[in-house]
Structure 1
Amino acid sequence: MQYIAIGMRLLIGVVFLASAVSKIMGRRAFGDFTTSLGGMRIMPPSLWRPAAILVIASEFAVCGLLAFPGPFTALAGFLLAAGLLAVFTVAVATAVHRGVRAPCRCFGGAASPLGPRQITRNLILVLCAVVGAVTAPMTGPLAPAGTAVAVFGGLVWGGLAVVSDEILDLFHPIDKAPGLARDSR
């Protein structure tokens, strides 16, 4: 079970680190993320900037808690991650239900509009965070090979979660791919 906790630490840590860093990679990235919160039509304009700052700070907090050794910091990180992901899921589902097709700025400047894929990804990540929280308090000796596999698996699955929108876009017909205009011939 400890190997699962290690893998989940890395998976969730990679996802939240990529998400937070992509939103502060420049003034434009932060502005785009802040504007995307407004585009979701779930809060008044006066809350866009404070919400953006709170989201980014919380994402970095998850990373910090998961990076520190110890089962209780990991437990806190997983619980914070699960809570944030649940809030993100509800916000995206609310926006989608209202017909909002704004681009997802979860990991920077993706062209994919909000939709079921982000809801599904977030629900899977909530499940991963909960599994991490359940397994985090378990202790005992670790084998180097098992640890290496858990680290590798967590990094790979975390990376795949980060680029999941781009991977799924590869399977859309070219005329329906997000960000491409249809030929009007």
Structure 2
Amino acid sequence: MESDVLAVAATALLATVFVSSAVGKLRDLSGFTDSLVALGLLRSRATRAPVWLVPAVEAFAAVALVVALFGPSVWISRGAAAVSFTLMAVFTVVAARAVLRGDEARCACFGHRGAAFAPRHIVRNAFLLLATATLGAVASPTVVTATPSVGVAAAVGVLFAVLVIALDDLAELFRPVSGTVGDTTRQTTRRRTPVPALRRRG
């Protein structure tokens, strides 16, 4: 039962992330292409094959994960987990490379023109890698049955997926505004500083 709960939570998390990522890339294919060019993974915007390939693999991984959850074979489950792990490993390497090199490329992971690659993207991908590893470890040939605990696990997985997808928006929301207080104080001080009167020489 515990393995079923973990499998459902991990599947809900990964499938939601992959579907959102694939749909987002297809909706903003231009932004995703620009990101690949900036990362040096694509020579020019004229090359379209790799751009379509990435969301296609993500969609395939999402479908495979859901099918594996209700499949009768443990090898189907482990195969789906292996595909997901490989996909996330590639994304993690790309993010780490961009951060280490200081590239100004933006993360178009979910299609929209997001923020520049940062250490938080590596942490996010590492978390998803852990989810895929967990899914492969708890793979079971038994079919998951609908129970209240399984429903809660699915809801938790979707919730974490939403947080993963909104990571850049949350980071921007809680980002401290530097220099605002100091600049305001300096401007106020300048306004309140009296100007010395000029003395007339007799």
Shorter-chain TM-score category?
Answer: 0.7 to 0.9
Say whether the 8 Å CA contact 1:112–1:165 is kept in structure 2: yes
RMSD: 2.2
Q: Which amino acid in structure 2 is aligned with residue 172 of structure 1? A: R
Matching residue within 121, 146, 151 for 2:149: 146
Deviations 1:31-82 (A, max 9, x none): 1101110111244338953222221111011111012121443322221111
Percent identical: 30
Number of the residue aligned with 2:199: none
Say whether the 8 Å CA contact 2:25–2:32 is kept in structure 1: yes
Matching residue within 5, 8, 22 for 2:7: 5
Change (3 A) 1:134 1:6: same
Displacement of 1:101 after TM fit?
Answer: 1.9
In structure 1, C-alpha distance between the alignment counterparts of 2:82 and 2:123, rounded to whole Å: 19
Q: Which amino acid in structure 1 is aligned with residue 164 of structure 2? A: A
Number of the residue aligned with 1:107: 110
Change (3 A) 1:40 1:4: same
Secondary structure class of the residue paired with 1:24: helix
Query: Structure 2: which 5+ runs fail to align?
Result: 180-186, 188-202
Change (3 A) 1:147 1:134: same
Rg comparison, structure with higher value: 2
Indicate whether 1:57 and 2:56 are aligned: yes
Say whether the 8 Å CA contact 1:2–1:138 is kept in structure 2: no
Say whether the 8 Å CA contact 1:101–1:115 is kept in structure 2: no
Displacement of 1:135 after TM fit?
Answer: 1.1
In structure 1, C-alpha distance between the alignment counterparts of 2:105 and 2:84, rounded to whole Å: 24
Indicate whether 1:132 and 2:135 are aligned: yes
In structure 1, C-alpha distance between the alignment counterparts of 2:169 and 2:113, rounded to whole Å: 8
Say whether the 8 Å CA contact 1:85–1:126 is kept in structure 2: yes
Matching residue within 17, 29, 52 for 2:19: 17
Change (3 A) 1:156 1:111: same
Q: Please list every run of at least 4 consecutive aligned residues from structure 1 whose deviation after the TM superposition is greater than 3 angstroms.
A: 42-48, 71-74, 140-143
Change (3 A) 1:7 1:52: same
Secondary structure class of the residue paired with 2:18: helix
Q: Which moved more, 1:36-45 or 1:50-59?
A: 36-45
Q: Which moved more, 1:57-66 or 1:136-145?
A: 136-145
Q: Which amino acid in structure 1 is aligned with residue 22 of structure 2? A: A
Q: Which amino acid in structure 2 is aligned with residue 91 of structure 1? A: V
Change (3 A) 1:47 1:130: farther
TM-score w.r.t. the length of structure 2 is: 0.78
Aligned length: 174
Q: Which moved more, 1:167-176 or 1:142-151?
A: 167-176
Alignment of 1:166-181 (within 5 A): 166-174=169-177
